[in-house]
Structure 1
Amino acid sequence: MTAIADPFLNNRADYLPPGSLFSQFIVPPFFQRISIFADQGSVRILGGRGCGKTMFIRYFSHGSSFDSNRDDIPQSELKTVGLYLRPDTGFCGLMIPEWLGPYQAKLAFSHYVALNLLKDACQSLDSIGSARFANGPIAVGDPRLSPALAKQLGLTDRHVSSLEAELDLKLVELESWVRNPKHSPIPSFVSFTSVVPRFAQDVAASSPQLAEFAFRAFIDEFENLQSEHREVVCDAIKHPSSRLVVHIAHKKQAVVDFKTSSDERVVEGHDLRTIDLDKELSVEGEFELLAAELFLLRVTQGQGKFDCPLFQPALLHDQRHLAHRLSKAYRDQVLRCVREILPSCSAASIAREVVQDPSLRRRLREMIQKGLVLQGLDKKVNPDDLISSTQPQASIVMGALLNRRSQIDKDLLSQYYAAVANPRDSDAFFKVGGWIDNNLHGCLFHLYAGLPRRPNINYAGFDRFCMMADPNLRFFQALCHATLSIAYKRQSGNEVSGQLKVDVETQATAAKQVSDKLFQDILQLGSHGSKLLEITGRLGRIFEAFNRRRSQSEPEVNHFSIDNADRANLSTQAEMLLREAKIWSVLYEAKDTKNKADYDIAQSDLILNPIYAPHFNISYRKRRKVTLRAPHADILLCQSTAQYEVVLKQLVDPADQDPSGDDAMTLF
């Protein structure tokens, strides 16, 4: 029996069966505004870890394009029959000059690609034969290959039906030689840029209905290939064929050189164009809609109950229904439904919770008391008089303002008392002054951080899940899986009475569990996982220290920048680790839009992935940053713990910090 949460475990394309992903793929909103693969040029698909690159390109492969559940397929799809290849990096890692020789290493890799693409090409004919074309079925039959291709492949039987078995034998032959080059016969190499277009030409010649038959090949995880092998692929991009166009997918920042086998390089705009999935998903509101639809699709697969009449899973997978899904009525209903299942508390309601809950109220009282001592008012003012059930937001912000060494306003207390005395003008003074808008969220994170065993409901709710996960759909599904697992255990949808709804405490507990796990998983990221884990821990401690400041003079600090004028002074190792952190989405880079003065030098913000916010009890909102000089950044990224501790104390005054609720001042 399938539990409600189980479908959310299918959060990687690798976990899904080979072949069609048509019924699993949700056409994203950005399909309305970009040309996907309409021209004959090559495309590279970029994105961070977990943004859906593999799912995206497998949707355009023949298994999904000609899925038997897809109706009215246009015959024009035969012009761009998709082939998919994710090279076996372990096996390809043996095809190196040091092992096979400089020329044979490249020839062997091209041969490997040719055999795998031809296997998929044979399977594509089966997909086409079962497809539901708008003008009726197409009888592919069993085409005969040309004498030229048969000679290239050493075939005795020229029918496609016998080719696939031959290809398996040739792959075994290649593997035997690659692993034992001195003791096995050298295969008769072929180039994929020659045999795959020729295969397409032979199929096109077999029937008038297939006259425009051509392939587009998707090479996944391009960044994991050896540099010599990337050159082979870049050769194909630089010199496309009318019957074969090569597309690639790789992580952002992971590939910086697109050199061909000659001195030429693949040039953006001329030889290929880019689809940046992170950038496309960042358009306001689009990630939320996609995440909401994904949530309802997974809940449907788990037989969960919800109230959303306009939502129909069958409409998610075909671009023809995108206009309906982008309509206001549809969008509003889908988002409303998911927000009802995963509700959140507003900052104002959390503020009311603070003044009503004994433990949180005690934390606030201590904060106000220390502020009164700092201002020399502890003998004149009772801290309880500054906690109002009718003015909870003002009370909480007052706790931070009193802890600031500079006197904010000599009439601050009298104006607070006046606001409390006038319930009709609730929080008026603090709202007009911007104190609540600028400080309330930071104060709430500060108060909850002192109670680390208390579920922090600042992280609960569909919209907050989106803010922590965006643009990573894998992280979003992990949050949903943990939430539903805690709420409903192993229950199936049929065992749950009524519609689904999960309380905020359960959601907050799930967010913390997922964040903790993903933090530990950093260790497994690439060849520098241990250093990335250390860097993340150090950054998290810095932001955690800012959050523990009672003054909250710069609330919600959760990202940093390095002065561009000073960036050249970063060590080579620090630059390498920064790049690795961006490749693995531990850090995101964004243009600085909040320079405090016109004369500030343009900088880039480096944002700690918000999914780690619950682990450190810090804000997930991109609000304020700390600007580091190169020496400090270098210490943070790659110097000793002792040096890092000195920098931490320089950045955040220990005297302004509340002690951690669980003394969690260790790196991990």
Structure 2
Amino acid sequence: MDINNIEQGQKLTTILAHNRTENIGQDVWAQFVVPRYFDSIDFFGTMPCVIQGGRGCGKTMLLRFLSYQSQFSLNRSFENVEKNSLLQHVGVNWRAETAFLRQLNKRGVDEQVWLQAFSHYLVIKVSLEILSAIDHINKIFKIFDSDKLFLNELSDYDEDFSCTFNSLKGAFDKHRRRFEIAASNPNKLSDINFLPLSILKDLINGIKCRVADFDKTNFHLFIDEYENLLPYQQFVVNTQIKHSEPPIIYKIACKRNGMPLRDTLGGEAIQNKDDFIVYDIDLYTMDANYNVFAGEVLLSRISTVEKQALSIKLNDVTKLNERRESFYESEIIDTVSKLFPRKTQADLACDIFERPILFNKLKDMLEQALSVKGEKGYSADDFIFNNAKEASVVCVALLNRDSVTPSEVHNELKNYASGSDSKFNNWISNNFVGCYLNIIKRRKQENLLYAGYDTLISLSKGNLRHFLELARTAFSFGYLFNEDGNFTIKCETQALAALKTSEVLFQEIRSFKPYGHILYTFVQRLGDIFAALQSRLPQSEPEINHFSIEGGDSALSQATKTLLEECEKWGLLYRTIATKTKSTYSIEDYDWVLDPIYAPKFLISYRKKRKIFLTPRDLEGLFSESNDYFESFVSEIHAKQKRSNSKTEISDNSQPGLFD
């Protein structure tokens, strides 16, 4: 793709700024990139479903693509589309209006009244969506005369509905306004004629029996942000899920852990598999093909500026198999990797050698380690080999270990530099990143570890919004044009963008209701702990960025479990099956990993390498409003660092907790 002038580059920065679906609108047909998992899920099946996933995984964009505004988009050509097949499934999307729906509670009104009021409001909003969908479709295919169609059965619910289809939407809208006024003045609720949910089926069946083209149509109601509904409101929706059947099927979308209540109004509880199917979007977005999909989305955005069509229509479901061809995937990765070049470990080592301020830091750290050792006859220069730069950097950690002497390190270094067998082959693999982070620590805005397309993919960890924000920030900081007219973003610019994006997203945590302040403090403390562990000079256990819980989740209090689930819901932590451990005390079941997007802010590794163990008491202390426990926690880390003895390092998992 050729972006050959500054104006186009500026337009691209603006386009990438629209990284939330809300910035695009209801019709996302032209902008949508069909997820690579799309054909493995039956979104239009007659079984209710729960679409769950973290922030930024693409739930809202997906729901809008499944809804009538996109499926029957004015930007779509219907020449080669079978109308009857398309009309079998019509998606309508209702996003829970948090601020308004939370008003439908208490204020001197009995909960039973609010229950009826919410059901009434749900009926109105869904009816309006269904009528809008039918009207929209009718304008495209000219199926019926909206001025001559009467749904007589609806007049039994309210005389306002004794009108033509063309006026019916206005009648429901009138009821919406009446209710919203009453909701603001609860004493007027007694004047409202509450509509039952059964009117929805009568509305749809009235259309089906009068308009042949809709005879086999099922309406799929996707309720977005279900987790924002009040408990009694969730019970209403759960009840509809329990009794869903054509012509209207209820389906919801929520964050992970966003559906803790399964009760219905009838006293039953809805059950996974029996009453609904769960589609976990995170399982798909975090797979090995996320790097290809993210690249497709980025190039799709770029194409809107360049006005150059991609080789494959990314919003066409029938093209998925072509997009899975290996040569196509390689082309995508190659293209975006040129936009975001990276530094290899060898490049990072060269950067330390070539920049005086970093090279002097390397020498100072080597001299300091040798002075502690007390072994005479060696200087920092003896451990700096121009033909073994990566190994020289790793010497910073090795010389701080009691388990190895300077002479041993020097001999292994000479062997490595000469091409002979050496322990440095393993030492570099395990310790280079940790040593690099310690050397660059005072100049973290210049940390080139956070550059490169594959790094941006790792930092965003399946969160497309985070990836696009990283890309947008990088473009806004500047780009270069190559001789071939294509542009590229320098590693230094990418690294700065990663840092700024990480800091901005970290500050955003405070807005995560209802525990934002607690979650913000917890992530700050957890990141500080990982940073403190990272700064240990011996680096015997480098790249620590996740933890396991001694005794597993079952050992936690309900309050701590709730806060951990909130961390997972908002994407601050994600959990995986626990890796093998050395601990004889451990019964941990999961590893809890800090979202890599926060790695640049704390100057830690984004790679899932090593972990620490936390006791339930540790977690309670880290979630606590008081700083006392956390301060003693970090003090113990620094105390052990000063002792600098590998046998007493925190990474020794022979103890129940970090320092208990």
2:103 matched residue in structure 1: 94
Alignment of structure 1 residues 349-364 onto 2, 5 Å: 349-364=347-362
How far off its partner does 1:390 sit? 0.7
Q: Deviations over 1:20-43 (max 9, x none)?
A: 1111211111124x2232421001
How far off its partner does 1:410 sit? 6.3
Whole-Å separation in 1 of the counterparts to 2:55 and 2:13: 22
2:658 matched residue in structure 1: none
Q: Contact conserved, 2:227 with 2:254, CA < 8 A, in 1?
A: yes
Q: Contact conserved, 1:68 with 1:130, CA < 8 A, in 2?
A: no
Q: Contact conserved, 2:152 with 2:162, CA < 8 A, in 1?
A: no
2:4 matched residue in structure 1: none
1:294 matched residue in structure 2: 297
How far off its partner does 1:367 sit? 2.2
Q: Contact conserved, 1:79 with 1:212, CA < 8 A, in 2?
A: yes
Question: Is residue 383 of structure 1 aligned with residue 387 of structure 2?
Answer: no
In structure 1, what residue type is equivalent to 2:196? S
How far off its partner does 1:129 sit? 3.0
In structure 2, what residue type is equivalent to 1:7? I
Q: Contact conserved, 1:374 with 1:405, CA < 8 A, in 2?
A: no
Q: Deviations over 1:300-346 (max 9, x none)?
A: 223399xxx9x34x611121111111111111111101000111111
1:161 matched residue in structure 2: 166
2:443 matched residue in structure 1: 451
State the secondary structure of the residue aligned to 2:103: coil
State the secondary structure of the residue aligned to 1:315: coil
Q: Deviations over 1:51-96 (max 9, x none)?
A: 1111111110111111133343343232221111112222211222
Whole-Å separation in 1 of the counterparts to 2:159 and 2:223: 26
Q: Contact conserved, 2:339 with 2:488, CA < 8 A, in 1?
A: yes
Q: 1:325 aligns with which of 309, 320, 323?
A: 323
In structure 1, what residue type is equivalent to 2:275? D
State the secondary structure of the residue aligned to 1:29: coil
How far off its partner does 1:375 sit? 2.9
Gaps of 5+ in 1: 132-136, 658-668
State the secondary structure of the residue aligned to 1:527: coil
Q: Contact conserved, 1:343 with 1:504, CA < 8 A, in 2?
A: yes
2:651 matched residue in structure 1: none
Q: Contact conserved, 2:451 with 2:495, CA < 8 A, in 1?
A: yes
In structure 1, what residue type is equivalent to 2:437? F
Gaps of 5+ in 2: 1-6, 645-660
Which deviates more from structure 2 when the two are superposed, residues 76-85 or residues 226-235?
Answer: 76-85
CA gap 1:656/1:487 in 2 versus in 1, 3 angstroms: farther
In structure 1, what residue type is equivalent to 2:382? D
Q: Contact conserved, 1:97 with 1:104, CA < 8 A, in 2?
A: no
Whole-Å separation in 1 of the counterparts to 2:68 and 2:108: 35
Q: 1:3 aligns with which of 7, 11, 17?
A: 11
2:566 matched residue in structure 1: 580
State the secondary structure of the residue aligned to 1:150: helix
How far off its partner does 1:14 sit? 1.6
Whole-Å separation in 1 of the counterparts to 2:556 and 2:43: 40
Q: Contact conserved, 2:48 with 2:275, CA < 8 A, in 1?
A: yes
1:21 matched residue in structure 2: 28
Q: Contact conserved, 1:47 with 1:278, CA < 8 A, in 2?
A: yes
Alignment of structure 1 residues 150-299 onto 2, 5 Å: 150-155=155-160, 157-183=162-188, 185-192=190-197, 194-284=198-288, 286-299=289-302
State the secondary structure of the residue aligned to 1:49: coil
1:396 matched residue in structure 2: 393
Q: 2:409 aligns with which of 403, 407, 412?
A: 412
Q: 1:616 aligns with which of 589, 602, 610?
A: 602
Whole-Å separation in 2 of the counterparts to 1:600 and 1:640: 28
How far off its partner does 1:419 sit? 2.6
Which deviates more from structure 2 when the two are superposed, residues 411-420 or residues 535-544?
Answer: 411-420
Whole-Å separation in 1 of the counterparts to 2:483 and 2:398: 48
1:436 matched residue in structure 2: 428
In structure 1, what residue type is equivalent to 2:35? P
Q: Contact conserved, 1:221 with 1:250, CA < 8 A, in 2?
A: yes
How far off its partner does 1:197 sit? 2.1
2:459 matched residue in structure 1: 468
Q: 1:511 aligns with which of 490, 498, 501?
A: 498
Q: CA RMSD in A?
A: 2.4
CA gap 1:415/1:654 in 2 versus in 1, 3 angstroms: closer
1:134 matched residue in structure 2: none
Q: Deviations over 1:561-592 (max 9, x none)?
A: 21125x55544443332222222111112221
Question: Is residue 536 of structure 1 aligned with residue 520 of structure 2?
Answer: no
Q: Percent identical across equivalent pairs?
A: 29
* TM-score normalised by length of structure 2: 0.91
How far off its partner does 1:409 sit? 9.1
Q: Deviations over 1:411-439 (max 9, x none)?
A: 3321212332x2xx28x51454x111111
1:41 matched residue in structure 2: 47
State the secondary structure of the residue aligned to 2:253: strand
How far off its partner does 1:112 sit? 0.8
1:365 matched residue in structure 2: 363
CA gap 1:641/1:156 in 2 versus in 1, 3 angstroms: closer
1:666 matched residue in structure 2: none
Whole-Å separation in 2 of the counterparts to 1:188 and 1:381: 90
Whole-Å separation in 2 of the counterparts to 1:183 and 1:264: 33
CA gap 1:539/1:598 in 2 versus in 1, 3 angstroms: closer
CA gap 1:293/1:320 in 2 versus in 1, 3 angstroms: same
Which deviates more from structure 2 when the two are superposed, residues 296-305 or residues 607-616?
Answer: 296-305
* TM-score normalised by length of structure 1: 0.90
Q: Contact conserved, 1:515 with 1:615, CA < 8 A, in 2?
A: yes
Whole-Å separation in 2 of the counterparts to 1:408 and 1:70: 71
In structure 2, what residue type is equivalent to 1:487? G
Whole-Å separation in 2 of the counterparts to 1:153 and 1:461: 62
Q: Contact conserved, 2:543 with 2:607, CA < 8 A, in 1?
A: yes
State the secondary structure of the residue aligned to 1:650: helix
Q: Contact conserved, 2:340 with 2:491, CA < 8 A, in 1?
A: yes
Whole-Å separation in 1 of the counterparts to 2:160 and 2:177: 16
State the secondary structure of the residue aligned to 1:45: strand
Q: How many residues align?
A: 631
Q: Deviations over 1:452-501 (max 9, x none)?
A: 3x411100111111101122111111101110011159xxx9x9992111
Whole-Å separation in 1 of the counterparts to 2:181 and 2:191: 9
Q: Deviations over 1:493-524 (max 9, x none)?
A: 9x999211111001111111111111111111
Q: Contact conserved, 1:367 with 1:550, CA < 8 A, in 2?
A: no
Ranges of 4+ aligned residues in structure 1 off by more than 6 Å = none
In structure 1, what residue type is equivalent to 2:452? G
State the secondary structure of the residue aligned to 1:558: strand
1:73 matched residue in structure 2: 81
Whole-Å separation in 2 of the counterparts to 1:225 and 1:508: 40
1:660 matched residue in structure 2: none
2:653 matched residue in structure 1: none
Whole-Å separation in 1 of the counterparts to 2:188 and 2:408: 90
In structure 1, what residue type is equivalent to 2:99? G
Whole-Å separation in 2 of the counterparts to 1:601 and 1:568: 10
Q: Contact conserved, 1:51 with 1:471, CA < 8 A, in 2?
A: yes
How far off its partner does 1:540 sit? 1.0
Which deviates more from structure 2 when the two are superposed, residues 440-449 or residues 141-150?
Answer: 141-150
Whole-Å separation in 1 of the counterparts to 2:580 and 2:33: 35
